[in-house]
Structure 1
Amino acid sequence: MKKSAVTFAFVLFFSVFMTETSFGQVIKLKTTALAMKFKHDDNRWSDWSDWERTSVLIVADDNRITVYSKEKQVYDIIENEGKKTDSDGDDVWSYFCINEDGARCRLRLIKRNSRNGEAQLYVDFNDMKWVYNIELLET
Structure 2
Amino acid sequence: MRTVASPLARRLLIGGVLVLLSACAPELSSLQDDPMATGTLAGMEEVDRNEDRGSSGGMLGKPEPAKVLRIFEIPPDEDPAEVLAEALVTAEDRGWQVRSDNATGFVAERDLDDRLATLIVSLNDDADLGPAPGLYVSLRMSVD
TM-score, normalising length: structure 1: 0.41
Structure scoring higher RCO (CA < 8 A, sep ≥ 6) equals 1
Larger CA Rg, structure 1 vs 2: 2
Q: Higher strand proportion, which one?
A: 1
TM-score, normalising length: structure 2: 0.40
Q: Higher helix proportion, which one?
A: 2
